[in-house]
Structure 1
Amino acid sequence: MILSVSRRTDIPACHWQWFLNRLDAGFLCVRNPFNPRQISRIDLDPRLVDCMVFWTKNPMNLAASADRLKEYVWYAQVTITGYGSDLEPGVPDKKKVVIPAFQELASRFSAQHVIWRYDPILINDKYSAAYHFHAFGQIARSLKGFTNRVMISFLDLYRKNEKAMRELGIEPVCRAEVVELASGLKEIAAANGMEIFSCAEKLDLTPGGVSAGACVDKRLIEELCGCQLEGNKDKNQRSQCGCLESVDAGIYDTCSMGCRYCYAGQRKKADDSCDVHSPLLQGQIGAGETVSLRKQASLKKEQMTIF
């Protein structure tokens, strides 16, 4: 099993103590986002969790206590963009906090363990194509030698971010402009020792030299595990997504970053905050709610233990 931590919220930045407590307990619980009364109990036995994949905009907590993950195979995807507080009000200073934490994490482990994400790419009067070339170049130079991969994607509109995008004057970008921008970013990435991949992109960016990638990357996990995996494409993701199947530990509407382009929603009120001692990221298991032990299996070809 691959554990995603998390596509739905920023657990390393916002809920790290809860996650460490769950590692100590050996399990966590997740509500079905489409049927909240359905709760799954996920065993965190390292023999069952082949890899943990982290998503975050601030890896400071992860860098400070990554030794707690020594029993697990893992890697982190860290989003660093050139946007300011108008789009990312809750993200700490990138030059003073985020980039140094990224560098520390890579230095303690390897460049393979930390992937840079530059996404989503959006265009308006302030954040023009020229701006992206400049910002991407600055960040790439600061991360040179600390990662060997960067993932990019262009903004998709969802119901939760559509209003904010209109208010920000986000401009539609034609295919030729997207490919030209991707090509320029590819050259900058290559100059800084990085491969560049797209994430679930509807447009074919290969004319710009950017191949389709995967966030939950079977090949990378096999390299980190040192063995082959058996597994299927994640059917719960978009059709363009190339990710290996995984189980997500998060819940929507629990992130405090406040990014205006976000599709996963924002934390709504103070009493929605996480209880670090609960098996659930948010709230408690209520009377009459059923907790089912999720069927889990290692995807390693050398070990197919099923619980």
Structure 2
Amino acid sequence: MIISVSRRTDIPAYYSPWFWNRLRDGYVLVRQPVNERRVSRIVLHSDVVDGFVFWTKNPAPMLPRLGELEEYAYYFQYTLTAYGSDVEPGIPSKRECLIPAFQELSRRIGPERVIWRYDPVFLSSKYTEAYHVRYFAELAAQLAPYTRRCVISFLDYYPQISRPMAALGLKPFPAAQKRRLARALAAICRAHGLQMETCAEDLDLAEYGISHGHCIDKTLFEQLLKQPLLVKRDANQRPACGCAESIDIGAYRTCRGGCRYCYAGGANREVSRIHDPASPLLGGYVRPEDEVYDRYIASCRSPQMVLDF
């Protein structure tokens, strides 16, 4: 099974000590998002975990201990946008921290395992098409030697982000305008030798050389493992999502980044207060009323075959 770390929160940036403790102890507990009294116990041993996908805006806290992942296949989905602190108030300086961290991570694990995410893309009175093109080009010039592909998506207007986004003066973003901006960004990627993909987008941008992506990527894991994976598309994601099946070990409302566009919800103060790096749960502890059960997890690797890439 592939483990997602995590779509729900930024574990590398804010909870790295907790993750390393979970890896050391060989298991993690995860509350069900809908029924919080149901807690699953997930084994993290390398014989059943086919790999990790780390989602982050700042991997720097993880860099000193990457050697502890030696037994696992893994890669990073690394979000670096052109937004300022009005949109991403809790994110460190791109120039001083995030771009150097991107480059260092790539030097450590290789550019094919550091995927640049420029998402979500939206328009406002400040963040215009011209703004995106200009700053995307600046980022691409600095990141291109350290990655192989860039993933974009356009902002989905979930109800929970309407209030935090209201003050930004959002502009309409019709499909024709999305196509025009995507075409410009794709041209920048081509100039730098980067492949561009979309994340869970219905919009077909193939005419600009942009393919539909698979952020939890079966093919990439097969290349890393040199074995085929018998894994299906994740049916629990949106119809346009191409991700392979995975188990997410994060928790909603625990991310401290404060990004205005985040559909997963900002950090709940109580959850942050009770976080214990030694606890098997990301937020707090097992309660007397909780029902803890072992979630079945098995490797999806096909032992009969070895792939030669």
- On the 8 A contact 1:217/1:243 being kept in 2, the answer is yes
Question: How much has 1:270 moved relative to structure 2?
Answer: 4.9
Partner of 2:297: 296
Partner of 2:32: 32
Question: Where does the alignment leave 5 or more consecutive residues of structure 2 unmatched?
Answer: 305-309
- On the 8 A contact 1:63/1:102 being kept in 2, the answer is no
Partner of 2:154: 154
Partner of 1:50: 50
Partner of 2:89: 89
- On the 8 A contact 1:39/1:291 being kept in 2, the answer is yes
TM-score (norm 1): 0.96
Q: Deviations over 1:218-276 (max 9, x none)?
A: 11111111111111111111111000000001000000000001100001215533211
Question: How much has 1:165 moved relative to structure 2?
Answer: 2.3
Question: How much has 1:167 moved relative to structure 2?
Answer: 2.4
After TM superposition, list the pairs within 5 Å mapping 1:70-89 onto structure 2. 70-89=70-89
Confirm whether residue 257 of structure 1 aligns to residue 257 of structure 2: yes
Partner of 2:113: 113
After TM superposition, list the pairs within 5 Å mapping 1:56-75 onto structure 2. 56-75=56-75
Which contiguous aligned blocks of 4+ residues in structure 1 show a shift greater than 6 angstroms? none
TM-score (norm 2): 0.96
Q: In structure 2, how many angstroms separate the alpha carbons of the residues matched to 1:258 and 1:166?
A: 15
Q: In structure 2, how many angstroms separate the alpha carbons of the residues matched to 1:162 and 1:123?
A: 14
Q: Deviations over 1:157-192 (max 9, x none)?
A: 112101222321111211111111111111111111
Classify 1:27/1:192 alpha carbon distance in 2 versus 1 (closer, same or farther; 3 Å): same
Confirm whether residue 128 of structure 1 aligns to residue 128 of structure 2: yes
Letter in 1 for 2:241: C
Question: Where does the alignment leave 5 or more consecutive residues of structure 1 unmatched?
Answer: none
After TM superposition, list the pairs within 5 Å mapping 1:238-277 onto structure 2. 238-270=238-270, 272-273=272-273, 274-277=275-278
Classify 1:213/1:88 alpha carbon distance in 2 versus 1 (closer, same or farther; 3 Å): same
Question: How much has 1:59 moved relative to structure 2?
Answer: 1.2
After TM superposition, list the pairs within 5 Å mapping 1:204-223 onto structure 2. 204-223=204-223
> Does the residue aligned with 1:52 lie in a helix, a strand or coil?
strand
> Does the residue aligned with 2:37 lie in a helix, a strand or coil?
strand
Q: Cα RMSD (Å) of the superposition?
A: 1.3
- On the 8 A contact 2:106/2:114 being kept in 1, the answer is yes
Partner of 2:237: 237
Which deviates further from its counterpart, 171-180 or 21-30?
171-180
> Does the residue aligned with 1:35 lie in a helix, a strand or coil?
coil
Letter in 1 for 2:111: A
Q: Percent identity?
A: 47
Q: Deviations over 1:286-306 (max 9, x none)?
A: 113221111111111117xxx
Aligned pair count reads 304
Letter in 1 for 2:162: E
